[in-house]
């Protein structure tokens, strides 16, 4: 898929298909996350891949709006060192979600409001935090593609020359 | 450019060409930033476009490693409300930098360590902060393309099933 089309058509979705994600596209998704630039090239992000149903259900209890995540075949937790920058996690997560979208795989970032819960479920050592959990699933062929959330007009978002 | 190739080949660069960026690719870059998803669809990011040389030089004094930014023809400051999430700014910035890369336009995110300085130079009202400044420039045809910073091997970044 053309990069610009991929970027502009990408929709976050909470409706998933059960069939597993193949190893090759999953590897491309993770590679896309790996290739994101980061401040001072610190490469702070680590990725925990969750495909086990029991673990997905446990993780769903760690977020206020995470009830839907066990229905996604693959979850990827983006983990940062405590001093790591959320901006860098956003770059890496966006790379993964765009690479997925180019493969016909939809996704949604899900916040773990109870950070301790997420660390425990994923067995993450001290000194790290879970920035976000990304849920991935093939797009259901039977479901109409969302037109996406309405966006603020470009003219309102952009200030030319100064605010 | 194919989305996956764009994502994996993208390099941050601090070496720029003076020639101006055309209006149409600049609009696609901003549109890519606009289309990024955000938590609760709050769409927190605003963009300040800077092309004026004097203003670029002033902005360069607000960051510790920002000396190079006046040589970029276009800067885009990504602005968040004070309570806005850096993760969402990272998603939006990555969209812009990837859309640029697909047009042969390189970029680099630059931190404004003196936030007050950046707000003053850009005339941004109270209640906002500058998350990052993105410098954009056409790739110089005479400069060899960087092979990019070395990345940690995928096997070290990824934990399967749990940490």
* Cβ contact B89:A87 at 8 Å: yes
DSSP per-residue letters across A110-149: E--SSHHHHHHHHTPPTTEEEEEEEEEEEPPTTSPPP---
- Residue B81's pLDDT band (boundaries 50, 70, 90)? very high
Cβ pair B162:A109 closer than 8 A:
no
Is B163 a member of any domain? no
pLDDT value at position B140? 82
User: Residue B143 pLDDT > 80, yes or no?
Assistant: no
Q: Which residues of B touch A92 (CB under 8 A)?
A: 90
Cβ pair A50:B88 closer than 8 A:
no
Could you give the angle at which helices A86-101 and A23-34 cross, rounded to 10 degrees? 150
Q: Mean pLDDT over residues B98-124, rounded?
A: 97
Q: Which residues of A touch B41 (CB under 8 A)?
A: 149
Is B49 a member of any domain? yes
Q: Mean pLDDT over residues B127-146, rounded?
A: 89
Q: What CATH number is given to the structural domain containing B146?
A: 3.40.109.10
User: Residue B26 pLDDT > 80, yes or no?
Assistant: yes
User: Residue B2 pLDDT > 90, yes or no?
Assistant: yes
pLDDT value at position B88? 98
- Residue B148's pLDDT band (boundaries 50, 70, 90)? confident
Is A150 a member of any domain? no
**pTM listed for this prediction:** 0.96
- Residue B124's pLDDT band (boundaries 50, 70, 90)? very high
Q: Which region among A9-18, B23-32, B63-72 has the lowest average model confidence (pLDDT)?
A: A9-18
| Percentage of residues of chain A with pLDDT beyond 90 | 91
What is chain B's mean pLDDT, rounded?
A: 95
pLDDT value at position A148? 74
pLDDT value at position B133? 98
Is A149 a member of any domain? no
User: Residue B156 pLDDT > 80, yes or no?
Assistant: yes
Give the residue among A156, A113, A38, A12 at the shortest CA–CA distance from B45.
A156
pLDDT value at position A63? 98
Q: Phi and psi for B30 in degrees, rounded to 5?
A: -65, -40
Q: How large is the ipTM? A: 0.96
Number of neighbours of residue A70 by Cβ within 10 angstroms:
19
What is chain A's mean pLDDT, rounded?
A: 95
pLDDT value at position A115? 97
To the nearest whole angstrom, how far is the Cα of B138 from the nearest Cα of chain A? 17
Q: Mean pLDDT over residues B95-107, rounded?
A: 97
Q: Which residues of B touch A51 (CB under 8 A)?
A: 161
* B136: contact with A, CB 8 A cutoff: no
Q: Mean pLDDT over residues B58-82, rounded?
A: 98
Q: Mean pLDDT over residues A86-103, rounded?
A: 98
Is B128 a member of any domain? yes
- Residue B33's pLDDT band (boundaries 50, 70, 90)? very high
pLDDT value at position B141? 77
Give the single-character DSSP code of B12.
Answer: B
Could you report the per-residue pLDDT of B9-23, keeping only the tens digit for each? 999 999 999 999 999
Angle at CA of residue A140, ends A134 and A142, nearest 5°: 155
Q: How many domains does chain A have?
A: 1
Q: Which of residues 102-131 of A touch B (CB under 8 A)?
A: 102, 109, 111, 122-125, 131
To the nearest whole angstrom, how far is the Cα of A21 from the nearest Cα of chain B? 14
Tokens linked to A109:
């970032």
User: How do strand A158-160 and strand A105-110 relate by DSSP bridges?
Assistant: unpaired
Number of neighbours of residue B124 by Cβ within 10 angstroms:
20
| Percentage of residues of chain B with pLDDT beyond 70 | 98
Could you report the per-residue pLDDT of A14-50, keeping only the tens digit for each? 999 999 999 999 999 999 999 999 999 999 999 999 9
User: Residue A140 pLDDT > 90, yes or no?
Assistant: no
Is A87 a member of any domain? yes
Distance CA A113, CA A129 (A): 11
Tokens linked to A143:
């479901």
To the nearest whole angstrom, how far is the Cα of A142 from the nearest Cα of chain B? 23
Residue B87's domain comprises 3-157
């Amino acid at each position: 898929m053309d990069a610009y089309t991929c970027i502009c058509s990408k929709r976050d979705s909470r409706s998933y298909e059960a069939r597993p994600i193949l190893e090759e596209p999953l590897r491309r998704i993770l590679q896309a996350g790996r290739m994101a630039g980061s401040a001072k090239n610190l490469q702070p992000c680590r990725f925990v891949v969750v495909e086990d149903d029991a673990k997905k259900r446990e993780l769903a209890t760690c977020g206020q709006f995470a009830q839907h995540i066990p229905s996604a075949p693959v979850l990827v937790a983006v983990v940062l060192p405590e001093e790591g920058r959320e901006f860098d996690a956003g770059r890496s997560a966006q790379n993964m979600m765009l690479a997925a979208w180019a493969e016909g795989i939809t996704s949604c970032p899900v916040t773990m409001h109870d950070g301790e819960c997420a660390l425990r479920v994923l067995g993450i050592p001290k000194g790290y935090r879970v920035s976000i959990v990304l849920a991935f699933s093939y797009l259901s062929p039977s479901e109409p593609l969302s037109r996406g959330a309405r966006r603020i007009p470009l003219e309102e978002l952009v200030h030319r020359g100064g605010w």
